[in-house]
Copies of this chain bind each other. A is one copy, B any other.
């Protein structure tokens, strides 16, 4: 039985070229980039090269890239660092209800420190309305932080429209583009974002590699203070192999983005078609078109996600779910709540994210398996039996 990973959103394998680029920096060119002697030279050059590559993917300047250890770190750095640097200007920050917890939780902490936070609602496709953004802005607003793409339902925000509103009001705009970079073109000039978070492990770079892209002239106080690495913006010995890996992953993403994305969206569309043909009572979540090319998010009515996930796992198919039981925190997905999905459907949600290993032949097999599993679980479901008897939900 071939294992079929349809959970690339949770983790991607490091690309062979990326791993190859990283390898010399573990035991051979292991020096510290800040060393004055020759052992610092190769690492220092490698850092500079990686910085160029990441900047190149985003249309930014290399000095605008700050390497971090994760998207979470970059998001925390932006929100807390911006609040600390600009609190005298105002204490209002805007984000969205479907942003990631590494944005939402720092905002909650800032609220305890006297900041006011507006979380913009989304429509049932997960879209933020630029008009509502405009109306939320006050004289106190110092930052807007809205994700580029949602990692669950895959919805792509209308970034250029949102940043146009921010620019008109003169307010810096941060986007958590962790789920988007590497899959949709994201040029900081064209989209007009001032700060952008990305993580290498989302697009075949290594874990522990991430970056904040920060437009020249933007100011924030560092989250990690100490040495003056990253021009004093982020202390700590540079993780050279991870950064080199991120650079290579960014380079590959830049070269292959169009090809990768179109391949993935074709496979995704085929998977969607196969599933909907094979299994009754499925619901598509997120936006039908404005979504990540490798993302498919559905609800399997009448059954619960973890049970589906476990049966699929036994069939060698790996997926994710927004159900309460599959979350570490045992909370149902705040995203599915925000788009107004009823609890039954949120509990029965399945997230498929495709990737390099995905193949055309997977779709019919997965559809066949899901058909079998859904039927089996529905036979056991009090909700389904009620539906059969009473004809309604």
Q: Which residues of A contact B (CB under 8 A)?
A: 3, 5, 7, 10-16, 19, 22, 26-28, 30-32, 34-40, 69-73, 75-76, 100-103, 105-106, 108-109, 199, 201, 206-208, 221, 223-228, 235-242, 306, 309-310, 312-313, 318-321, 326, 328-329
What are 6 A-to-B residue pairs whose CB atoms are below 8 Å? A3-B38, A10-B34, A11-B39, A36-B320, A109-B221, A207-B241
A19-B27 in contact given A102-B235, A106-B225, A225-B109 (Cβ < 8 Å): yes
Residue of chain B at shortest CB distance from A43: B11
Contact (Cβ within 8 A) B207 A239: yes
A100-B226 in contact given A19-B26, A19-B27, A26-B19 (Cβ < 8 Å): yes
Residue of chain B at shortest CB distance from A238: B207
State which of B13, B30, B37, B102 has its C-beta within 8 Å of the C-beta of A26: B13
State which of B71, B206, B226 has its C-beta within 8 Å of the C-beta of A75: B226
Contact (Cβ within 8 A) A240 B72: no
What is the CA–CA distance of A199 and B106 in the complex, to the nearest angstrom?
26
Residue of chain B at shortest CB distance from A40: B10
A32-B11 in contact given A26-B206, A71-B236, A101-B227 (Cβ < 8 Å): yes
Contact (Cβ within 8 A) B27 A11: no
> Chain B residues with Cβ under 8 A from A37's Cβ?
7, 309-310, 312-313, 318-319
Residue of chain B at shortest CB distance from A234: B72
Residue of chain B at shortest CB distance from A221: B109
State which of B16, B101, B239, B309 has its C-beta within 8 Å of the C-beta of A235: B101
State which of B237, B319, B321 has its C-beta within 8 Å of the C-beta of A70: B237
A10-B26 in contact given A75-B226, A241-B207 (Cβ < 8 Å): no
A208-B11 in contact given A37-B318, A106-B225, A227-B72 (Cβ < 8 Å): no
Contact (Cβ within 8 A) B7 A30: no
> Chain B residues with Cβ under 8 A from A240's Cβ?
207
What is the CA–CA distance of A28 and B11 in the complex, to the nearest angstrom?
11
What is the CA–CA distance of A243 and B151 in the complex, to the nearest angstrom?
25
Contact (Cβ within 8 A) A72 B102: no
- Contacts beyond the supplied A10-B39, A35-B320, A36-B310: 8 A-B pairs with Cβ under 8 Å: A7-B39, A14-B30, A37-B313, A37-B318, A70-B237, A73-B73, A102-B226, A208-B241
> Chain B residues with Cβ under 8 A from A225's Cβ?
72, 76, 101-102, 105-106, 108-109
What is the CA–CA distance of A226 and B5 in the complex, to the nearest angstrom?
25
Contact (Cβ within 8 A) A208 B10: no
Residue of chain B at shortest CB distance from A9: B32
Among A13, A35, A221, A225, the most chain B Cβ lie within 10 Å of the Cβ of A225
Contact (Cβ within 8 A) A235 B105: yes
What is the CA–CA distance of A106 and B105 in the complex, to the nearest angstrom?
21
Shortest distance from the beta carbon of A241 to any chain B beta carbon, whole Å = 7
What is the CA–CA distance of A229 and B225 in the complex, to the nearest angstrom?
23
> Chain B residues with Cβ under 8 A from A69's Cβ?
69-70, 73, 208, 236, 239
Shortest distance from the beta carbon of A42 to any chain B beta carbon, whole Å = 12
State which of B15, B34, B70, B328 has its C-beta within 8 Å of the C-beta of A228: B328
Shortest distance from the beta carbon of A22 to any chain B beta carbon, whole Å = 8
